[in-house]
Amino acid sequence: MEIKKDSKLKGLIKRFGAIGLVCVFSLAIALTIAFNVPRGQQVSNSMAEFVLPMHNATIVKDYADDRLQDNPTLSRWEIHLAIDLQSEDMNVFSIYDGVVKSIRSNGLEGKVVEIDHGNGFTSVYSSLEDDVNVQQDGKVNKGQQIGRASNAAGNEKLSGGHLHFMLYKDGKAVDPNIYLDLQNK
């Protein structure tokens, strides 16, 4: 009597069925792709060159894109795509070299300075006093004073004088905590 050997593939199909085998192979392919595709924005050494927008500042309201925070001025809960900072002297500084993209003013945000830092980074400084130290299309240096924080932002008036700071990467708001050394604030 001759014993017939089945191939390993036939044995797997008999044991797990064709659908089970397809699922196992699909999972293996998905895991291979997942572990070889780069994950979100990584902090590199070049990002450590940013400086803080205020000296000796305290975070009075942190960045939150995944949870709602109370805005007592507007009497509502909302996401907060910025960090609000206060310091004793209220001076505001550019986080990096760049070009002033715009200077504008409105009742909700107060005076706003937007700086293009290159490499896809743009910083936005809101709730500034009307008198700023920069001009539209002018160059700024890292650490250069651009103005002073105030309570000019009507949408956060009850928060008192503060800087409302936003950071964008490739046109999308990002958490400044990732790029700035704010751990002890």
156: domain CATH number?
A: 2.70.70.10
Among the residue ranges 62-66, 126-130, 163-167, the one predicted with the least confidence is 62-66
Q: Is residue 44 part of a domain?
A: no
Considering only the C-alpha atoms of the chain, give the largest distance between any 2 of them, rounded to a whole number of Å.
Answer: 100
CA 87 to each of CA 55, 59, 143, 148, 162: distance values in angstroms, whole numbers, following the listed order: 7, 9, 16, 10, 8
pLDDT tens-digit series, residues 8-17: 656 656 666 6
**81 and 3, same domain (yes or no):** no
Q: Is residue 67 part of a domain?
A: yes
**29 and 65, same domain (yes or no):** no
Q: Is residue 130 part of a domain?
A: yes
Q: Is residue 6 part of a domain?
A: yes
Number of domains in the chain: 2
pLDDT tens-digit series, residues 29-56: 655 665 554 443 334 434 448 999 999 9
**28 and 66, same domain (yes or no):** no
Q: Is residue 79 part of a domain?
A: yes
**81 and 118, same domain (yes or no):** yes
The overall average pLDDT reported for the chain is: 78
**77 and 128, same domain (yes or no):** yes
In contact, 91 and 55? CB cutoff 8 Å: yes
Q: Can you tell me the mean pLDDT for 164-172?
A: 94
